[in-house]
Amino acid sequence: MRAKFVRESADVRRQALIDATAKCLAEKGVAATSVRAICAAAGVSSGLLTHYFEGVDALILATYRDVGQRVSQAMDAAIVAAGDDPQDRLRAFLQANFRAPVLDADLLATWIAFWSLIKSNADVAAAHAEIYAASRTQLEGLVAAAGPGFSPAQVRLKAIGLTALVDGLWLEYCLDPTSFSAAEAQQLVERAMGHALRDQ
Amino acid sequence: MRAKFVRESADVRRQALIDATAKCLAEKGVAATSVRAICAAAGVSSGLLTHYFEGVDALILATYRDVGQRVSQAMDAAIVAAGDDPQDRLRAFLQANFRAPVLDADLLATWIAFWSLIKSNADVAAAHAEIYAASRTQLEGLVAAAGPGFSPAQVRLKAIGLTALVDGLWLEYCLDPTSFSAAEAQQLVERAMGHALRDQ
DNA sequence: GGAACTGGATAGCCCATGGCTCTCATCAAC
DNA sequence: GTTGATGAGAGCCATGGGCTATCCAGTTCC
């Protein structure tokens, strides 16, 4: 007796598989993210993965790009909501890391899985470089607007420092939320932003 | 025909297996760190792993503790070499992250592998919490000594901020050394240290 | 309206790999 | 030499990824 199935459009199926992959990576880590686990989470048979993607590696890469895009969109939304003041916009970008949906242990778990693939998968490495470059370019634009008069070299270094602080706080909070609070992280970022805009 | 073998002490064998595990994690990621790969790297047969450890999970955990200890010792050595001045000691601790043997892409790859196991392995999670707590306690001691007059709450927050900045810079530099230099990272940390000691 | 067609979807097979165990060889201490 | 721990290596069972034969819902064409 063969189970009935529902015919879905390609986009719906692809997205379902991507969502299932992110869920598996977050919940069980990269080791347990197998074709069967992904397809079970997506509610489809295992053969369908190969039908829509080259293989499990390609699906993971697509998931990386999808997750990266969702984070990027959350950042953009925060900037737009902040209004026109350049400092408010910079602040909104930085602080968005410490609110949903970015501040999420599952998102970190997914992200760590991607990092762990960079060494062994050139495509993932390329995607990572691309995503990070875009993020840093955006931050440099916000810093330059909020602190006019800085040279490009100064802007670049400030952006590097702010990115590192934000990423470090985000990483450590998600790994262990008991050691400090999101509010404390926001406070630290606010101070660092002040220093970055005040100093040379 | 069975191959000849050399009889080694338990400590030597354990360390060889731990080193081989770290090498596999760094070079090929957690997915390719199998019993056979580890034992091949260590130059022993696959049965030996079970002989000396409960299983591959226990070996990975032992590797985590070993790598953590090596980093911790490098930090301690840097502090001792810095002399008696509290600010120099704090600086030495922070800057040691941007020199060998800590600033090493292989070490990050190993570390990422550990992070990726935190979700699925409670023992790894416990080891991680322990290692990070020890590191942060040490940093709090250095901050308190370098900036007397700070309350424990102030010291704690400063230590959290400095740890996050250092970890973020370390992470991003190891993931992609082309985006900025180690000297720039050191400069950013030096500035942040100055702010931490100057402000309240 | 019905038959043939298209291609999404399934189940299951094949082979590779993985972790671990078991047997047996080897060596060093006594 | 005896002995017992150390080590090698084959093998077992489970799981994984990819592939294929098959099936079926919706479309097309007469």
Residue pair B120/A28 in contact (Cβ under 8 Å)? The answer is yes
Q: Provide the positions of strand D that have an atom within 7 A of a protein CB.
A: 6-11, 15-21, 23-26
Distance B55 CA to C20 C1' (A): 8
- In terms of CA atoms, which chain B residue is nearest residue A200? B191
H-assigned helices in A29-121 = 35-42, 47-52, 56-82, 86-95, 105-118
Residue pair B112/A112 in contact (Cβ under 8 Å)? The answer is yes
Per-residue confidence (pLDDT) for residue A5, from 0 to 100: 64
Q: Angle at Cα B80 formed by Cα A164 and Cα A165, nearest 5°?
A: 10
CA contacts within 13 A on the Cβ side of B74: 17
Question: Is B20 contained in some domain?
Answer: no
Residue pair A56/A38 in contact (Cβ under 8 Å)? The answer is yes
Residue pair B92/B190 in contact (Cβ under 8 Å)? The answer is no
Of the partner residues B112, B136, B156, the one whose CB lies closest to the CB of residue A116: B112
More confident residue, A128 or B200: A128
Distance B7 CA to D4 C1' (A): 14
pTM above 0.85, yes or no: yes
- Name the domain count of chain A: 1
Q: Is A169 on the interface with B (CB under 8 A)?
A: yes
Of the partner residues B164, B184, B199, the one whose CB lies closest to the CB of residue A160: B184
Q: What is the mean pLDDT of residues A168-190?
A: 96
Q: What is the mean pLDDT of residues A165-186?
A: 96
d(CA B200, CA B191): 15
Question: Is A97 contained in some domain?
Answer: yes
Burial of A92 (0-12, 13-18, 19+ CB in 10 A): buried
Contacts of residue A15, defined as CB under 8 A and 6 or more positions apart, other chains included, come to A66
> How large a percentage of chain A has pLDDT more than 90?
83
Position A7 pLDDT exceeds 80: no
pLDDT-based confidence at A1, cuts 50/70/90? very low
Reported as a single tens digit per residue, the pLDDT across A76-120 is 999 999 999 999 999 999 999 999 999 999 999 999 999 988 888
Distance B109 CA to D6 C1' (A): 33
The string of DSSP codes covering A121-177 is -HHHHHHHHHHHHHHHHHHHHHHHHHSTT--HHHHHHHHHHHHHHHHHHHHHHHH-T
- In terms of CA atoms, which chain B residue is nearest residue A120? B28
Please report, for the domain that includes residue B171, its CATH number: 1.10.357.10
Residue pair B60/B117 in contact (Cβ under 8 Å)? The answer is yes
Give yes or no for CB of A50 within 7 Å of strand D: yes
Question: Is A147 contained in some domain?
Answer: yes
Residue B148 per-residue DSSP state: T
Per-residue confidence (pLDDT) for residue A4, from 0 to 100: 55
Structural domain containing residue B184: 57-198
Query: Does residue B101 have a cis bond before it (omega within 30 degrees)?
Result: yes
With CB atoms and an 8 Å threshold, state whether B128 touches A168. Answer: no
Give yes or no for CB of B119 within 7 Å of strand C: no
H-assigned helices in B29-121 = 35-42, 47-52, 56-81, 86-95, 105-118
Q: What is the mean pLDDT of residues A137-146?
A: 98
Question: Is A194 contained in some domain?
Answer: yes
Q: Angle at Cα A128 formed by Cα A123 and Cα A133, nearest 5°?
A: 130
Distances (CA, A) of B103 to A141, B71, B92, B94, B107: 29, 10, 14, 12, 8
Residue pair B113/A116 in contact (Cβ under 8 Å)? The answer is yes
Query: Does residue A86 have a cis bond before it (omega within 30 degrees)?
Result: no
Per-residue confidence (pLDDT) for residue B160, from 0 to 100: 98
Residue A51 per-residue DSSP state: H
Of the partner residues B120, B132, B199, the one whose CB lies closest to the CB of residue A29: B120
Q: Among B29, B92, B98, B94, which Cα is nearest to B60's?
A: B29
With CB atoms and an 8 Å threshold, state whether B157 touches A192. Answer: no
Q: Which of A2-6, A194-198, B96-100 has the lowest mean pLDDT?
A: A2-6
Question: Is A51 contained in some domain?
Answer: no
Give yes or no for CB of A36 within 7 Å of strand D: yes
Across chain B, which has 200 residues, the per-10-residue mean pLDDT values are 76 96 92 95 95 95 97 98 98 97 94 90 92 96 94 98 98 93 98 94
Give yes or no for CB of A40 within 7 Å of strand D: no
Question: Is A23 contained in some domain?
Answer: no
Give yes or no for CB of A4 within 7 Å of strand C: no
Per-residue confidence (pLDDT) for residue A148, from 0 to 100: 84
Question: Is A168 contained in some domain?
Answer: yes
Q: Angle at Cα B143 formed by Cα B118 and Cα B112, nearest 5°?
A: 20
Question: Is A50 contained in some domain?
Answer: no
Per-residue confidence (pLDDT) for residue B3, from 0 to 100: 67
- In terms of CA atoms, which chain A residue is nearest residue B158? A188
Q: Among A43, A198, A175, which Cα is nearest to A109's?
A: A175
